[in-house]
Structure formats: C-alpha cells, structure tokens
Amino acid sequence: MVGAILTQNTAWTNVEKAITALRGASLLNPRAIDRVPQAHLAGLIRPAGYYNMKAERLKQVTRFLLTHYGGSVRRMCRTELPVLRGELLEISGVGEETADSILLYAGDLPIFVVDAYTRRVLERHGLILANTRYGEIQRLFMTHLPADAALFNEYHALLVAVGKTYCRRTSDCDGCPLRYDLPNGSPLLPRP
Ligand code: SF4
C-alpha cells in the first residue's frame, strides 16, 4: 500500500529508496505511520518526490486502514471488491490507479491496473483513443480475460516492462516483442 502511494508520479527506483528509509526507521506498519509526525515522515520519503503531499496521503490511508479494519490489510481485503474499491476512492489523493494497485498488489484481488504505459501501448496499437477513460480501458482487459489476480499482475508487469524498454516517448518498435501486433497502416512485420 505504501508503494502504491509513493509511486505516484515517480520511478520505482525512487520509491525503493523511500521504502528502505521507512524500513530503517521501523515505520513500515500502520500504527507507526499513524504515530510519527508528518514532517518526519515527509523527510524520510523525500527520495520519492512530492514528499509533503505523499506523507499526508500515507497518513490518510493509514488512518482509513486503522479505523475501518484495525490496521489489517488481510481483513480489509475480505471486503467485497467493488465495496472496498469505493472506500479507497473516497480517500483524498487516492485515484483509480492507486486504488487498483492496492487491491491487486497488496490485496491479491483480481482487478486490472491501468497506467500510463498501458494507455500508451494500447493507443499506439489503435486499440483505444487518446481520451479513452480509465474505466473503459480496464473493462477492455477485464471482459476479455479470466478474473485472475496472478494473470493481471503479470500482464501489467509485462506492459510496464515493454513501456520502459521500448514504448517510450519515442518508440523503439524494431526490438519490441509487440511489433508483430502493430495495427494496419503501421510497419507490420511478418510473424516469425
Ligand atoms: S511495437 Fe512496441 S514500441 Fe512499438 S508501438 Fe508497439 S508497444 Fe510500442
């Protein structure tokens, strides 16, 4: 859950540094995060950027977890998925991608995470339009795949890997494993 909040607008390598600092200060549990002064928390997570805002969000998510589920992620994840998703989205600063990352990665619940990489790959392959809403993209995956958290986890990780390695601001289609799936009008290559 901490990772899902800290990764907003930053690279995971920066999140890792912040999490290491939190672990070093024995702050990777909800009661400790709740007790620590916000300014001190902000200082520790500085490597993740937007640290004041993220410290506030960590506090809010922690308060939610403590108030509604006694600080237990396991208990939280026994709640029906749509209900829990609605509860998470009510927390200030938790948008759809963050809520779904918590549900999938912390809760092991079957919901597809849509991020900027997913959007970019789908758009470049003519599967969505530039202004397609988060929910529509998510439905595209979830209506065509079995509801399987491990599958959604791996699928999202592979999209991130393709996005980071090949489908950057300037795409490097030549070496990309998805080059054979480019739509008509793009330089389609014969399948091997
Ligand atoms: S082939 Fe790869 S790099 Fe090219 S548009 Fe598709 S996902 Fe992006």
CATH classification at residue 97:
1.10.340.30
Whether 32 is in the pocket of ligand 1, judged by its Cβ within 6 Å, is no
**Assigned token pair, 169:** 């601001």
Task: Give the closest residue (by CA) to ligand 1 atom 5.
Answer: 124
100 in the same domain as 122: no
CA distance 1 to 98: 9
Taking CA atoms, 122 is separated from 89, 111, 139, in Å, by: 25, 18, 13
pLDDT tens, N- to C-terminus, the chain (192 residues): 999 999 999 988 999 999 999 999 999 999 999 999 999 999 999 999 999 999 999 999 999 999 999 999 999 999 999 999 999 999 999 999 999 999 999 999 999 999 999 999 999 999 999 999 999 999 999 999 999 999 999 999 999 999 999 999 999 999 999 999 898 655 444 444
Distance CA 46, CA 105 (A): 23
Q: Is 185 left (phi over 0), alpha (psi -120 to 50) or beta?
A: left
- Considering the domain architecture, whether residues 125 and 98 belong to the same structural domain is answered as no
**188 part of a folded domain:** no
The domain of 154 spans 116-181
Q: Cite the beta strand spans of 83-189 per DSSP E.
A: none
- H-type alpha helices, 45-133: 51-69, 73-76, 81-89, 96-101, 116-124
**Residue where a domain stops, chosen among 106, 136, 165:** 106
Cβ(162) – ligand 1 distance below 6 Å: yes
Structure tokens at 33: 């995060």
Tally of structural domains, the chain: 2
Neighbours of 39 (CB within 10 A): 10
Ligand 1 lined by 121 (C-beta under 6 Å): yes
* Residues 7 and 95 occupy one common structural domain: yes
Of 125, 165, 180, 181, the one to substitute when testing ligand 1's pocket (max ligand atoms within 8 A of C-beta) is 125
pLDDT the model gives residue 108: 95
Q: What pLDDT, on a 0 to 100 scale, did the predictor assign at position 189?
A: 46
Q: Give the integer Cα–Cα distance in Å for 21 and 189.
A: 47
